[in-house]
């Protein structure tokens, strides 16, 4: 009982600290760093959020390295990015579910472009089925892409960052990596894992006094991209499905300001507090799935809410 109270007190203390800090920075804006000339690698850059992040970094003068499994989509992102007159863009086809392929392409990047200084692990997959309806293959794929690819890219690119005490690690996790959701068991578990991994490396780097290497962990609610096409929020005021442009702008701002945690919308942060104070079943629902049993991205009309009920 004493331990539970101590943990809760610690959590609330940290929450209050970050809340006050957030209020202060609303009054006094954080300075933004210059990323011109930085080598930015974005996985899952062929479409959606990854493409938007790539275009924004090009405009900021960064050297952009794009990875995607879909060669056609990747080529289109490269084409659009290169419309910027001074753009330096490099595209590589890479299946982020395969360790050896990541290591092979990473070696190419180091040789042809240089040491990556900003790593954005954005590639992701989702099945959107009840757990017992999800095949072993799909569960495995969720973890390989949503979590293990982060580990493998860190192994490939983190040593040079440590050697130079310079870099930025960006993990695109999810609100589902903070609060479990019905119908997203494999996705949610893999996002919990990616969040925990990124946060652990953040603390390791602090312990090593490598303060020149920054970390940003992003936990957005669902974004209107191919992965969640057709999803609708049951409570759009509290839990809006995010517009890709809005999400990308928030992520860029967080990176430029060296913000460690980005949870959006802010109602998710409130849900996290409630999670520690109330039974989580009251937030996520007990019976019905958070998404349609049909594959997410199929365009079927769905409504998602924090209680996991569908209309």
Catalytic site residues? Answer: 187
Sheet of strand 261-264: strand arrangement: 88-93, 63-68, 39-42, 118-121, 167-172, 213-220, 261-264
> Of the candidates 175, 172, 158, which has an alpha carbon nearest to the alpha carbon of residue 214?
158
Query: Residue 32: which residues within 8 A CB-CB, separation 6 or more?
Result: 253, 256, 257
**CA 275, 277, 283 angle in degrees (round to 5)?**
40
Q: How many CA atoms, within 13 angstroms, populate the side-chain half-sphere of residue 251?
A: 33
Helix residue ranges per DSSP H, the chain: 2-27, 48-59, 71-81, 99-112, 136-143, 149-164, 185-207, 244-256, 266-277, 281-284
The answer to whether residues 39 and 117 touch, using CB atoms and an 8 Å cutoff, is yes
What is the distance between the alpha carbons of residues 86 and 58, in angstroms, rounded to a whole number? 8
Q: Cα–Cα distances in Å, from 192 out to 13, 254, 280, 304?
A: 22, 20, 16, 19
> Of the candidates 255, 265, 165, 164, which has an alpha carbon nearest to the alpha carbon of residue 215?
255
Farthest-apart Cα atoms in the chain, separation: 62
By the 10 Å C-beta count (0-12 exposed, 13-18 middle, 19+ buried), 92 is classed as buried
């Amino acid at each position: 009982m004493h331990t539970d109270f101590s943990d809760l007190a610690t959590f609330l203390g940290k929450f209050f600290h970050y809340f006050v800090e957030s209020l202060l920075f609303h009054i006094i804006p954080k300075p933004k760093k210059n990323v011109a000339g930085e080598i930015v690698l974005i996985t899952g850059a062929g479409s959606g959020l990854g493409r938007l992040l790539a275009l924004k970094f090009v405009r900021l003068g960064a050297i952009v390295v794009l990875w995607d499994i879909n060669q056609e989509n990747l080529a289109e992102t490269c084409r659009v990015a290169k419309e910027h007159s001074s753009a330096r863009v490099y595209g590589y086809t890479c299946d982020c579910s395969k360790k050896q392929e990541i290591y092979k392409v990473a070696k190419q990047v180091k040789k042809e472009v240089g040491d990556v200084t900003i790593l954005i692990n954005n590639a992701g997959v989702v099945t959107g089925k009840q757990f017992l309806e999800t095949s072993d293959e799909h569960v495995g794929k969720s973890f390989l892409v949503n979590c293990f690819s982060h580990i493998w890219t860190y192994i490939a690119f983190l040593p040079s960052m440590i050697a130079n005490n310079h870099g930025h690690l960006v993990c695109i996790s999810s609100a589902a990596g903070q609060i479990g959701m019905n119908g997203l068991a494999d996705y949610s578990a893999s996002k919990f894992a990616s969040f925990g991994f990124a946060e652990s490396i953040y603390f390791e780097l602090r312990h090593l006094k490598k303060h020149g290497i920054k970390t940003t962990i992003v936990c957005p609610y669902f974004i209107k991209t191919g992965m969640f096409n057709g999803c609708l929020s049951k409570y759009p005021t509290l839990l809006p499905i995010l517009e890709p442009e809005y999400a990308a702008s928030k992520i860029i701002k967080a990176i430029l300001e060296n913000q460690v945690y980005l949870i959006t919308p802010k109602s998710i942060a409130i849900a996290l507090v409630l999670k520690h104070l109330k039974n989580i079943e009251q937030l996520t629902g007990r019976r019905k799935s958070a998404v349609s049993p049909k594959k997410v991205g199929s365009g079927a009309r769905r409504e998602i809410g924090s209680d996991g009920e569908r209309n």
